[in-house]
Structure 1
Amino acid sequence: MSNSRALVIKSVKYGETSLIVSCYLEDIGFKSFLVKGLYSTKKSRFSKAHFFPLNIISLNYSYNENKNLGYIKEVKSEFLFDSIYTDVQKSSVIVFLSEILNNVFKEELQKNQDLFNFLLNSLLWYDKTKNCNIYHIKFLVELTKFIGFYPNIKNKNDIYFCLESGTSTNVKPINEFIKGEDLRLFNNLLGMKFEDLNTMSISRKSRARILNKIIDYYSLHLQMFKTPKSINVFTEIFK
């Protein structure tokens, strides 16, 4: 048996009483586990709350690379969030980002300590902050540092950002790009820390446009990436 901190990425009910939980573990990366008896009429040693999206947990587990699913012996919450699951906007952000991460981790299977630390620290910051409506955009931009296609801004005076090449340019790209005020805001986000996000004001329409461009950016650079199903509900809540 091994012990590790982990982030819950996705959970799906399996059969009548069980759950398949996909987690990003600090020590071995992205893995899936079968949790038996969670929905049984008998009292389970696990709680459904342990497996909420992006919950940070501590696992005692066994995993065999020759099998598709591992086994969780014990689980406990590593941190108790104050607002992520009770605030409507924040909870919608968490569901949306968990869908994104589930797509990303299909291709990012191995452990990455820097990535784990980023996920952990950014979630803890978001839980404590108030009224930040661009956290999800900053999160998605920063996530690209760890998966290989962080935007390359050659010069802040360049007038286009080409989504396909991932670089800024003064030559109008043939395909998808960001330009104008949206590019200025995008560049500002790149150089900003999470703790400074509340100093930045972006209109609802600009947020929606930039988010859609970032989703397109992910689609161009990750073969298995699919637009999250929750994006429509998410967009409605942020109107």
Structure 2
Amino acid sequence: MIVTTKAIVISSLRYAEADLIVSCFTEVDGMKSYMLRNILKSKKGKLRTSFFQPLSQLELIANHKNKGTLEYIKEAKIVYPYQTLHSDVLKSSLVMFCSEILKSTIKEEEPNPQLFQFLSYAFQWLDLHETYANFHILFLLKLSQYLGFYPDDSNVDYPYFNIQEGSFEKQFNDHFSEEGPEVEALKQFFNQDFSTFSEIKLQKQTRTATLNLLLNYYHYHSQGFKTPKSLAVLQQLFN
């Protein structure tokens, strides 16, 4: 079936000498993977390699057979040209981190328009703003809501955060209970959005510990989750 859909590029992998396998999160059909034949050699085709950088926001005309096989893109165009996301070194590290997170957590070939709108807005926000040191922490927290395991913050004043239960607790229960500066930092991100979170000020060690806390939380709640390879680079640049 030929579809026209917005899409966010998640990853691309070189295949053979001139082909790319590109994974995209589409607005109409969720995650899709496409075979782009000879794109690395072609200079006159409708598809350009530059279109398929991680997190690029595109409009696709594609053939979706929906049989779990590689699909085919007929046409593509950029619908939101980023100004800084792929050229700024710090933002580029966040791009790689976020794309790895999404590749590890979004598996379904089914529409999730609320998640799509969240991602589209988040990356456009990052592109346009210059204060974003804690972006990845808020991004992970908000993403968990769309993935179905947002923490229960009804007892957010309690000192312990149970990463298995995803809730705050008054007393230490087992080895899943976490406490300390990273838990107190995490509490600050609840009820925040991208227009207000820049007011949160964290020391370098606390930011790293809070990020690791959220990644451990993802390990318990997202099947097959893998720690991003870009994490080390990200932490080095933001520290």
Quick one: distance in 2 between partners of 1:16 and 1:44?
A: 17
Distance 1:186 1:42, change over 3 A: closer
Quote the residue 2:230 is aligned against: 230
Quote the residue 1:36 is aligned against: 37
Quote the residue 1:148 is aligned against: 148
| SS of the residue 1:78 aligns to | strand
Quote the residue 2:137 is aligned against: 137
| SS of the residue 1:158 aligns to | coil
Quick one: distance in 2 between partners of 1:55 and 1:62?
A: 20
The Cα offsets for residues 158-211 of structure 1, whole Å up to 9 and x where unpaired, read as 011100000110121312343233222211101211111221111111110011
Is contact 1:164–1:175 with CA below 8 Å preserved after alignment? Answer: no
Distance 1:41 1:156, change over 3 A: closer
Please, which runs of 5 or more residues in structure 2 have no aligned partner?
none
Runs of 4+, deviation exceeding 6 Å: none
Quick one: distance in 2 between partners of 1:35 and 1:22?
A: 11
Quick one: distance in 1 between partners of 2:68 and 2:113?
A: 24
Q: Superposition pairs for residues 31-70 of structure 1, below 5 Å?
A: 31-40=32-41, 43-70=44-71
Is contact 1:154–1:169 with CA below 8 Å preserved after alignment? Answer: no
Quick one: distance in 2 between partners of 1:206 and 1:161?
A: 16
| SS of the residue 2:178 aligns to | strand
Distance 1:182 1:48, change over 3 A: same
Moved more, 227-236 or 24-33: 227-236
Deviation at 1:215, TM superposition (A): 0.7
> If the length of structure 2 is used for normalisation, what is the TM-score?
0.96
Quote the residue 1:218 is aligned against: 218
Quick one: distance in 2 between partners of 1:61 and 1:48?
A: 16
| SS of the residue 1:201 aligns to | coil
Moved more, 90-99 or 149-158: 149-158
Quote the residue 2:12 is aligned against: 11
Quote the residue 2:205 is aligned against: 205
Quick one: distance in 1 between partners of 2:129 and 2:77?
A: 24
Distance 1:178 1:67, change over 3 A: closer
